[in-house]
Structure 1
Amino acid sequence: MVGIKDIAREAGVSIATVSNVLHGKRNMSDKTREKILAIAKELGYELPKIRIKEKSSDNKTIVVNFSDFDTNFYLNILHGISDYAYSKDYDIMVCTSRNAEKYMSDAYSTGCINIDYRCEDSMLIKAAENNYPIIVLDREINHFGIKSVIVNNYDAEKEMVETLIKSGYERFAYLSGMDTDDNKERYRAFRDALSAHGITFHRRDHYEGNWREKSGTQAARLLMLSEHMPQVLVCANDMMAIGAMRKFREAGLRVPEDIAVCGFDDAFVSKYMGLTTVEVPNYERGFLAAQSLVELIEGTGSYESLKIGARIKWRTSTLVKTS
């Protein structure tokens, strides 16, 4: 599918410039605008139907779509969203994928922030094509009307695994979460780190979970039954890592002496469990998402993707040499 990044690359301009042209803005020369529209047509990009909406002081509501499987994970994100939104006199409507499509329209709201992996790309694109601005926090969608505010999972995950390797760990197991962009990027970083250090990773050591603590418990149980006990279990999120740690300790294994464990996200309970993890600045993530959406609603923003950095939190669930 051709997207605005492809048009920008072909035209030799920024993604923001292409976005402004497709939005019908006139803050560039006629020559540039005509060039971009011609390239879009040549590449087969379906130009959106631009509607000029009258700003209404009566409708300043932002929809936030989030998954209901783990409300605690989203509290800091929602806090950041609400702090910025309320400072600009916007209200917030929180819903899940079951009701998202209904409320993602001018009749109910002026824009949307999506953190629900169950909201399919096609549904978000359909809403965006009606000149309805959307911010996605859980994936990259290269389409007009949608801006991605995402975490740089790759660099932090790779650095964490490489530090574990340099500290002497050689036998790894990995516990994946649901099939999301975050999960894929974290797993790719994990594999790349092992490959860069000449460590072979076997398919038997790759376990699949669903982000929940229970799936971490199940993975730990399977690991203890296998003949290939790893030195360290790397988990795609903290809740699964915490489930695994509890099961290991319940079985009499010492963490990290018998098996090390690390996660991702820095959930609230991780600090008290001593879990090594990657801290994601979720408050700031929510704040920036709300700021970006309000700017798009008010016609001053850009649809260019925004990537947020993350940092490792070394704790007692791993034995590492960080100096």
Structure 2
Amino acid sequence: MVSIKDIAKKAGVSISTVSYALNGSPKVTDETCARILAIAKELNYTPNAAARTLKKRESKIIGVFLTDFSGPFYGHLLQGIKEYLNGHDYELIVCSGSQSHRFLPERMIDGAIILDAAFTDEELLQHADRGHKIVVLDRELIHPNINQVLLDNKAGANLAADYVLEKGHRKLYVVAGPQDSYDSDKRLHAVRQTVGRYKDVDCTELPGSFDKESGEKAARRILEAYKEPAAVLCLNDEMAVGVYNTVAESEYRIGEHIHIIGFDNIELSAYVSPRLATIDYSKHKWGALAAEQLLKLIAGEKVEHERIYVTLVKGESVGDV
């Protein structure tokens, strides 16, 4: 591989002069700079990104850490992050898995946006103690180098539960998410609080994994026990779609026998029939705001914790009792 030492030798100048020329420094005359750049091109010189990162202590790259890449949820979130970063001369890499955790301590990235249950709180706090800048989307951590940009899960779950209960439903199933999910935990806790404000609600909690298959599994249990119209509050839309699939194959009808509400308003929600009632928020805005807060942290600017607000999308999937 060609190095700046090779360019310096052929140009008859010092290594530092080549470095100045390659970095556009005014310390080198236009004539010398042009000659060095021409030689670099002739030798097919490629800058060593790792060495440049060590020297400048920045990579101009942000890492986005996700638990996994499955499902329709992440697209708009990542697009919001990407557009904001690209508009401020940063790039992003999307990471998953324990091996990628080394990108922060090895300074391969300038900061991290975390939506990944594989990171422990202790691990993130240790990174923050070492000066790394982090924005979390999936937990509450207090540290000068950590900013929270969280979804208002409590308000969303309250809206969803109130919507079905105000329609008179008293037989309620709640399909939860993974046990290690911050969002699922907050939503489930809020649903329990809302249900507690109503009288005579028969509420059954079923396990789920935020995927279509766990919604299908929950629906089979609900249909096997069916005796009267029931409302099903799924803590994300993918599980709600799974419930739809199973009910559609049965003798029961959605909005009449089984009433369903989801959370996330994924694109598919608008196309299932009857239209799925759900909780909406801007995933694009969530991503863009997370990126904005992280760049402020990196620049040493003051930041405040942010919250993404939610709204109810009514749908014919929930009828009156």
TM-score bracket relative to the smaller structure: 0.7 to 0.9
8 Å contact from structure 2 (residues 260, 276) kept in 1: yes
8 Å contact from structure 2 (residues 81, 288) kept in 1: yes
**Residue correspondences, number:** 266
TM-score between both structures, scaled by the size of structure 2: 0.78
Whole-angstrom CA distance in 2 between matches of 1:103 and 1:297 = 16
Question: In the alignment, what sits opposite 2:293?
Answer: 292
Whole-angstrom CA distance in 1 between matches of 2:243 and 2:230 = 14
Report deviation, 1:139.
1.5
Report deviation, 1:58.
5.4
TM-score between both structures, scaled by the size of structure 1: 0.77
Report deviation, 1:57.
8.1
Query: SS of 2:63's equivalent?
Result: strand
Question: In the alignment, what sits opposite 1:170?
Answer: 170
Report deviation, 1:237.
0.5
8 Å contact from structure 2 (residues 173, 231) kept in 1: yes
1:189 to 2:190 alignment? yes
CA gap 1:228/1:305 in 2 versus in 1, 3 angstroms: farther
Question: In the alignment, what sits opposite 1:269?
Answer: 268
8 Å contact from structure 1 (residues 172, 230) kept in 2: no
Deviations 1:191-230 (A, max 9, x none): 111111223445xx21001111000000011111226665
CA gap 1:257/1:71 in 2 versus in 1, 3 angstroms: closer
8 Å contact from structure 1 (residues 78, 283) kept in 2: yes
Question: In the alignment, what sits opposite 1:245?
Answer: 244
Whole-angstrom CA distance in 1 between matches of 2:94 and 2:283 = 17
CA gap 1:316/1:95 in 2 versus in 1, 3 angstroms: same
Query: SS of 2:135's equivalent?
Result: strand
Give the gaps of 5 or more residues in structure 1. Answer: 1-52
1:140 to 2:140 alignment? yes
- Please tell me the residue identity of whatever aligns with 2:212: E
From the CA coordinates, give the structure whose radius of gyration is larger: 2
Whole-angstrom CA distance in 1 between matches of 2:296 and 2:259 = 44
Report deviation, 1:283.
0.3
Whole-angstrom CA distance in 2 between matches of 1:92 and 1:72 = 19
CA gap 1:167/1:112 in 2 versus in 1, 3 angstroms: same
8 Å contact from structure 2 (residues 228, 257) kept in 1: no
Report deviation, 1:306.
1.1
Report deviation, 1:270.
1.0
CA gap 1:55/1:291 in 2 versus in 1, 3 angstroms: farther
Whole-angstrom CA distance in 2 between matches of 1:265 and 1:125 = 29
CA gap 1:96/1:54 in 2 versus in 1, 3 angstroms: closer
Query: SS of 2:157's equivalent?
Result: helix
Equivalent positions of 1:105-254 (< 5 A) are 105=105, 107-179=107-179, 180-202=181-203, 205-226=204-225, 231-254=230-253
Question: In the alignment, what sits opposite 1:309?
Answer: 309
Deviations 1:1-44 (A, max 9, x none): xxxxxxxxxxxxxxxxxxxxxxxxxxxxxxxxxxxxxxxxxxxx
Query: SS of 1:269's equivalent?
Result: helix
Whole-angstrom CA distance in 1 between matches of 2:133 and 2:320 = 45
Query: SS of 1:169's equivalent?
Result: coil
Report deviation, 1:72.
2.4
Deviations 1:111-158 (A, max 9, x none): 000111222212212211110010011111123421110011111221
Report deviation, 1:301.
3.0
8 Å contact from structure 2 (residues 211, 238) kept in 1: yes
Question: In the alignment, what sits opposite 1:44?
Answer: none
8 Å contact from structure 2 (residues 138, 150) kept in 1: yes
